[in-house]
Amino acid sequence: MIKHHIHPEILMAYAAGKTSPSVSLIVASHITLCSECRKGVESFENLGGKLLEDSDPVEINSSSLESILGKLDNIELDDQFDEPTDKVNSFKNIPSVLSKYLPDTDILTDEWKKSIGGIKYFDIDLGDFKQNTHARMLSIPPGRKLPHHGHESQELTLVLEGGFSDENGSYNAGDVAIEDENNIHTPVSDPSEGCVCLVVYEGKLKFKGLFGPILNILNK
Amino acid sequence: MFLENTFETAGLSAKLSYINFKKEKTYKLLKPAVKDQELTNLITLVATKKDRVAFGNLFKLVGPRIKGYLMKLGSNDIVAEDLLQEVMLTVWRKSETFDRSKAAVSTWLFTIARNKRIDLLRKEIRPQLDPNDPMLTPNQEEPADEKYSANQESVKITDAINMLPDEQAKLIKMTYYEDKSHSIIADELNMPLGTVKSRIRLASTRLKKLLEGHLHD
Ligand SMILES: [Zn+2]
């Protein structure tokens, strides 16, 4: 049962096509697992359709229709319009929209970088580094306690396996923690399963969010 | 520049009604401009018979608005025409996938135009929900008397937007129509950035509830 959802303004921005690739990734992953937010995105897409319907029409070039009808023949010859099939999802609890950006094997392979305390991470490059948005998978061993910290820029954490808890409650598979105010957290990863999560953060390469201390160490 | 009688050109007589942002300072939505049923019929002909006349009529009906949407988001005439062609080619190829029991034609077209713009113009990846993912949780149960109807949905959205204060409705439209960051919107509206953010948050939260039929919380 998912308890922590993505804010409506992020669902709306995603539906409007305004989110960065990394934020789109975490939204698409969450709405695979969460029917409530999926319904929210559908509602905001319906709104987009309605606004399109109500938008000011602009005259189309006179040759436009002829030009497109000419292109239909080539399409009929080449019927291969479906996107290539995704690779096999080797992770048990990870949506395919996310697993296709991960190494094609087990979580313990060398493609995942090792860090202190048995933590592993994998950076997903969706090409939005230039917008200062980043996506990173984290695998944290059981019972890891993190120091108190605050944060500045927005950070989204989607739990995929295991979970963590802090002063505000517990976060389990499917839950999203959103950090964009000056809260103080002391997250502890699940004592038996640890935590596998996707973290998306905006702003400078200085983490102050949930797993900020870990992420900062990893960036040194 | 704005065509007011595109529909006559297409041999159809749906009335156009759209908001004139400059003349009337209103952000309210008007009644549906294009009949969903007409568009659905045309798409069905394209899907089942690869009917080029139907496709041409569909193009004349929806093309000017898709082009308007793309231009509002900053494309010039040439780029908007190119994108529109790509959108309509996708409509031709994927017409079989349109499911009238789930969404209005305008919603389907909107998502295609949105994705083409991100893909071809911004040259960005857009990770998207995979509808065949085994991880996909089942949809929430809908009461039997709340089966999807494009017309009812359209009325619901119009009412929801019209229940928002003008300023919030304006911010919602800017989210969909303008390629601007929150800080640029704040500058333009002469509002603190925090106010813009909190109003968008307020408006989207309220809209989500209204669109999902929770009128009183
Ligand atoms: Zn959710």
Q: Which ipTM did the prediction report?
A: 0.86
Judged by CB atoms closer than 8 Å, whether chains meet at A28 and B129 is answered as: yes
- Inside any domain, residue B217: no
* Same domain? B117 vs B139: no
Higher pLDDT, A180 or B81: B81
pLDDT digits (tens, 9 = 90+) for A68-111: 999 988 776 545 445 545 555 556 688 999 988 988 766 567 78
- Alpha-carbon distances, residue A118 vs A131, A186, B4, B10 (angstroms): 30, 19, 65, 66
* Same domain? B46 vs B94: yes
How many CB atoms within 10 Å of residue B178? 15
- Residues 138..177 of B with a Cβ closer than 8 Å to A: which? 138-140, 153-154, 157-158, 160-161, 172-173, 175-177
Q: Please give the pLDDT value at position B24.
A: 40
pLDDT higher than threshold 50 for residue A160: yes
- Domain holding B149, by residue range, is 134-212
* Same domain? B101 vs B146: no
* Same domain? B84 vs B161: no
pLDDT higher than threshold 70 for residue A56: yes
- Domain holding A160, by residue range, is 109-218
pLDDT digits (tens, 9 = 90+) for A99-157: 889 887 665 677 888 877 788 889 999 988 777 788 999 899 999 876 555 555 678 99
Closest CA to B68 of A56, A47, A61, A49: A56
- Tell me, in angstroms, the distance from the centre of ligand 1 to residue A2's CA: 7
Q: How confident is the model at residue B68 (pLDDT cuts 50, 70, 90)?
A: very high
pLDDT > 70: what percent of chain B? Answer: 80
Lowest mean per-residue pLDDT among A57-66, A142-151, A168-177:
A142-151
pLDDT digits (tens, 9 = 90+) for B23-43: 344 566 555 556 788 999 999
Closest alpha carbon within chain B to A22: B127
CA of A34, closest CA in chain B: separation in Å? 7
CA of A126, closest CA in chain B: separation in Å? 7
Residue A152 is given by DSSP the state -
What's the number of domains chain B is made of? 2
CA of A166, closest CA in chain B: separation in Å? 25
Q: Any idea what the CATH number is for the domain that residue B73 is in?
A: 1.10.1740.10
Judged by CB atoms closer than 8 Å, whether chains meet at A96 and B63 is answered as: no
Q: How confident is the model at residue B5 (pLDDT cuts 50, 70, 90)?
A: very low
Closest alpha carbon within chain A to B126: A21
State both tokens at B4.
């007011």
Among B106, B125, B144, the domain-final residue is B125
Q: What is the mean pLDDT of residues B149-175?
A: 89
Q: How confident is the model at residue B173 (pLDDT cuts 50, 70, 90)?
A: very high
pLDDT higher than threshold 50 for residue B7: no
pLDDT > 90: what percent of chain A? Answer: 47
The answer to whether B129 contacts chain A (CB < 8 Å) is: yes
Q: Give the whole-angstrom CA distance, residue B79 versus residue A213.
A: 45
User: Chain B residues with CB inside 8 Å of A28's CB?
Assistant: 127-129
Which residue's structure tokens are 């996506």?
A: A135
Tell me the whole-structure pTM to 2 decimals. 0.86
Higher pLDDT, B101 or B44: B44
User: Chain A residues with CB inside 8 Å of B93's CB?
Assistant: 75, 81
Q: Please give the pLDDT value at position A64.
A: 92
